[in-house]
Amino acid sequence: MSARLAHWAVPAASIIALMVLVPLEVRAVSPMRQQLEEMRHSTPNLDRGAELFSTCVRCHGPTGSGTPDGLVPRIAGQHASVVEKQLLDYRRDRRWDPRMESIADRHHLPDLQAIVDVAAYVDQLDRPGSVGKGSGSRLSQGAELYSRLCSGCHGLGAEGDASRAVPRIAGQHYEYLRRQIHDAVDGRRPNYPPAHIRLLARLDHDGIDGIADYLSRADGDEHHGRPQGTGVQ
């Protein structure tokens, strides 16, 4: 090997070694963080957001209420920061659903500004419509588990946190919540942090049922001054 090649061999080997040692997920995060930061500083256009939302109506309905059977989640009133991150996750193969992957692509949402606009429109929607609920038999257990395991991040009323892109989960459909917990534990939600998955894995069948049912009946909505609370209906 010539001296010139030897000079470059060590840096190249070091780079390869770093790529092996650094998890792929960590290396892939940087571009996404850059996109999220760019969107955070963008000013939404609600008129354009309303136009873009017309595509979402097919599944989520004109009010963003989803379906009580939980096949489609309630997205009305969800924090814009949460909607933005989830759409990017669908684009980057960090969340899986063929329907959403096709809608989140650049054909329907051509640029980051489009994501900002439709997410802001979803955020300001009222949340009417019936919510799918469970049997009500494990509400006390669900309330205790939620308070102990989940409220530290999602809030006492499950209202989430827009500044940290923590989703509002109060008033979400029971079956949707149940399915998302199972998907996370079974590896079908790759955008869940490992610590979150480990926490959810501690729940047994009754615990999952209780938390999902409790949250479906909770009213943690402080959006635009609406009352906040944890009342069970």
How many Å apart are CA 176 and CA 180, to the nearest integer?
A: 6
pLDDT in tens, the chain (233 residues): 444 434 434 454 444 444 444 454 445 457 888 999 999 999 999 999 999 999 999 999 999 999 999 999 999 999 999 999 999 999 999 999 999 999 999 889 999 999 999 999 999 999 877 899 999 999 999 999 999 999 999 999 999 999 999 999 999 999 999 999 999 999 999 999 999 999 999 999 999 999 999 999 998 654 433 333 333 43
Q: Three-state DSSP class for 16?
A: helix
Question: Model-level pTM?
Answer: 0.81
Q: Output the pLDDT for position 30.
A: 74
* Residue 209 burial (C-beta neighbours within 10 Å; 0-12, 13-18, 19+): buried
**Coil, strand or helix at 166:** strand
Q: What are the structural domains, with CATH classification, of the chain?
A: 25-123 (1.10.760.10), 139-225 (1.10.760.10)
Q: What per-residue confidence (pLDDT) applies to 231?
A: 38
CA triplet 216, 169, 165: central angle to 5 degrees? 175
Structure confidence at residue 221 (pLDDT): 54
Q: What is the model's pLDDT at position 227? A: 30
d(CA 23, CA 103): 29
Cα gap 73→102, rounded to integer Å: 17
pLDDT at residue number 3: 42
